[in-house]
Amino acid sequence: MLQHCIPVIQKEEQSDRERWQHLADLADFALAMKVTLMNINYQSFNNFMLRIGLNKGGVLAGVIGARKPHYDIWGNTVNVASRMESTGVMGNIQVVEDCYNILKEYGFRFVRRGPIFVKGKGELLTYFLKGRDKQGSFINGSSVTLPHQVVDS
């Protein structure tokens, strides 16, 4: 019997910091959206407000529709993120405890909202994302100060 072995090349182990960098980037983006909307409101004499919900986890994604196809995502992660938005408070970014535990290690600041009832999940401990103390870093090692970040001079 002839056997052929194909070596399995495993992806290098990522540090927790590298593993969750995309979540920190998303949180930075959400905070920057709030600042951008504030500037738009100031310049246009409007009072538009955002209510944002964040969650982490796996999703299922694909193109659906035969007549008018579009890309969509599904899953528990999406449902909880949607509930974070719909049960949130206008002008705030609400996250579940898992996101809070990860993002606080990146220098993000939070206010504990407390437990809220989430349909299909029961009581979940939630936090409002308020800002970030440290600069964000990108893959190439460069860093950019975003409008919501506090930088020591």
Could you write out the three-class secondary structure of the chain?
CCCCCCCCCCCCCCCHHHHCHHHHHHHHHHHHHHHHHHHHHHHHCCCCCCCEEECCCCCEEEEECCCCCEEEEECHHHHHHHHHHHCCCCCCEEEEHHHHHHHHHHCEEEEEEEEEEECCCEEEEEEEEEEECCCEECCCCCEECCCCECCCC
> Which one of the listed residues 83, 104, 113, 121 is annotated catalytic?
83
Active-site residue flag, 119: yes
> Which one of the listed residues 19, 119, 130, 132 is annotated catalytic?
119
Active-site residue flag, 67: no
Kindly list the catalytic residues: 83, 119
